[in-house]
Amino acid sequence: MRTLFAGGGLFVKDRPELLQGGELLVDGTTIAAVGAPGELSREPVDRTLDTSGALVLPGLVNTHQHDWYLYGKGLGGDLLLEKWISDCLFPLKAQLTIDDLRLASEVAALDMLRGGTTSSVNHLVNETTLSEEEAILTPVADTGVRQFFAKAIRPGDVASDFANARESFEKWDGFAGGRVRIGFVLEATAHWVAMGTCSEPMVLGGHALAVEKDTFTSSHIAGGTMSRDNGYLKFVLQTGRTDLQFLHRLGVLDDRWILAHTINPRDNDLDLIAASGSTVAHTPSSEAARGGGITPVKRMLDNGIRVAIGTDGPMVDLTNDMVEQLKWTRLLQNQLHHEPASIELAKLITMATEDGARAVRAQDRLGSLEAGKLADIAVFDLATLHASPVHRPLSTFVHAARGGDAKHVMVDGELLLEDGRFTRASELHVTELLRKLGENGRALGRRAGLLPD
């Protein structure tokens, strides 16, 4: 199947003139060519998608997401992070069923797809069996999106030489025609260490396994409040080291780490991140929702650190919208630095695409509109009441567009969203999913003691 995208602006690295209009040709699963208006329209194609009034981007890459958090929307109330973890997250996690995981996986995949996200890192905070992983990953295969499944490794896995993690990697890495890839969660932040979910042998062995399998590792880092009583600062003072110093001293801090949040770097943390080549996964609306502070993204970028974008999960901030995160990122940095252009618009979009692809070690296949890359593409309609008129496409996209403005979304050359409608899921099926999600969510909340019987 050969598809031509024609009429709209293209976000193509080093070719800003294409923002005013261009053409993109997809042949099978890959991008065949990009060009100026009229340059590719003479090529034989099977279909042409009119993208007039739209912006064509690489599919968005969500580098930090918890799929099952859908069930906890609104249940966290006004709790600070530390209290939210103990009183909301852990009670719900303890009561999850396989059916809950299966349903949340499909709804989360469709929700992100509807917002132009083609790839996401599903960071597991709960240990999973092969059966539970099948329940999570089969709906991902059915919806057609990509998932970088980050399996949680815990201290108890050390005795068995990480047999569970190895088994999961060997079974699922490359599943769904390569759309599912496996990495590992090695929780190293002070809060998780205090809860017994981390040990030095776990981090050392888990990282060695990631090196052996040439995959990524993900961890919550330097998050929460800077409280001396129960926040991140308490643990820094008790242990005499930061989260980043902990990883650095173990000799494992390298470019395969996705450092989720990293709200409160201190001492020489930024230098350690920059030297390692690791990636910070910035989740601005989540961090604001929990009152954790404003991540110093501009300082990170100025220090040569790669920063990607994530949504965290709707139990925290009630959204999976990656476009919303771009606006939050820029406005919070503007406020922090008293500068209305704190981060360049093109850089923001690169953070949500190419930098995310690098974080999951897929930059050779994903993250940019280039010939030879896989055809993961999101077309956002800017001819809307809330976005028009469009004078500067990137400014309009970042500040005025919404995830729901995605008009066409393609993964591996297959249109999974066409004219705002799912191609693999009927409206009736989605309606039934949402009904079941409500039932499961209320039942889960009752079992966890967060909703009345």
CATH classification at residue 11: 2.30.40.10
CB 358 within 8 A of CB 29: no
CB 2 within 8 A of CB 43: yes
CB 123 within 8 A of CB 66: yes
Q: How far apart are CA 421 and CA 406, in angstroms?
A: 10
List strands edge to edge, sheet with 180-185.
60-65, 117-123, 146-152, 180-185, 217-221, 257-261, 279-282, 306-309
Q: Are residues 296 and 323 located together in one domain of the fold?
A: yes
For residue 364, tell me if it sits in a domain. Answer: no
Q: Are residues 208 and 275 located together in one domain of the fold?
A: yes
Query: Is residue 220 classed as helix, strand or coil in its secondary structure?
Result: strand
Q: How far apart are CA 349 and CA 344, in angstroms?
A: 9
Structure tokens at 55: 């912006």
Give the pLDDT of residue 196: 81
CA 160 from chain center: how many Å? 30
For residue 99, tell me if it sits in a domain. Answer: yes
Residue 264 sits in a domain whose CATH number is 3.20.20.140
pTM, whole model, 2 decimals?
0.97
For residue 349, tell me if it sits in a domain. Answer: yes
For residue 433, tell me if it sits in a domain. Answer: no
Q: Are residues 6 and 122 located together in one domain of the fold?
A: no
For residue 174, tell me if it sits in a domain. Answer: yes
Q: How far apart are CA 430 and CA 71, in angstroms?
A: 16
* Per-residue pLDDT tens listing for the chain (453 residues): 999 999 999 999 899 999 999 999 999 999 999 999 999 988 899 999 999 999 999 999 999 999 999 999 989 878 888 888 889 999 999 999 999 999 999 999 999 999 999 999 999 999 999 999 999 999 999 999 999 999 999 987 666 668 999 999 999 999 999 999 999 999 998 777 777 888 899 999 999 999 999 999 999 999 888 878 878 888 888 889 999 999 999 999 999 999 999 999 999 999 999 999 999 999 999 989 888 889 999 999 999 999 999 999 899 989 999 999 999 999 999 999 999 999 999 999 999 999 999 999 999 999 999 999 999 999 999 999 999 999 999 999 999 999 999 999 999 999 999 999 999 999 999 999 999 999 999 999 999 999 998
Give the pLDDT of residue 160: 65
**Angle (deg, nearest 10), helices 163-172 and 200-213:** 30
Structural domain range at position 237: 60-359
For residue 301, tell me if it sits in a domain. Answer: yes
CB 344 within 8 A of CB 300: no
Q: Are residues 268 and 335 located together in one domain of the fold?
A: yes
CB 407 within 8 A of CB 382: no
Q: Are residues 21 and 105 located together in one domain of the fold?
A: no
Q: Are residues 50 and 68 located together in one domain of the fold?
A: no
Q: Are residues 81 and 214 located together in one domain of the fold?
A: yes
Distances (CA, A) of 106 to 136, 137, 149, 184, 299: 8, 9, 14, 21, 37
For residue 367, tell me if it sits in a domain. Answer: no
For residue 274, tell me if it sits in a domain. Answer: yes
Give the pLDDT of residue 227: 78
Burial class, 363, CB count within 10 angstroms (exposed 0-12 / middle 13-18 / buried 19+): middle
Give the pLDDT of residue 158: 65
Nearby residues of 77 by Cβ (< 8 Å), 6 or more positions away: 88
Q: Are residues 355 and 289 located together in one domain of the fold?
A: yes
For tokens 């080549």, name the residue.
277
Give the pLDDT of residue 79: 87
Q: Are residues 146 and 236 located together in one domain of the fold?
A: yes
Domain count, the chain: 2
Structure tokens at 106: 């499909």
Structure tokens at 248: 């650095």
Give the pLDDT of residue 159: 61
Q: Are residues 346 and 379 located together in one domain of the fold?
A: no
DSSP assignment of 345-404: HHHHHHHTTHHHHHHTT-TTTSSS--TTSB--EEEEE--STTT-S-SSHHHHHHHH--GG
Structure tokens at 121: 């890192």
Distances (CA, A) of 286 to 199, 311, 364, 395: 27, 7, 30, 23
Q: Are residues 248 and 109 located together in one domain of the fold?
A: yes
Q: Are residues 51 and 73 located together in one domain of the fold?
A: no
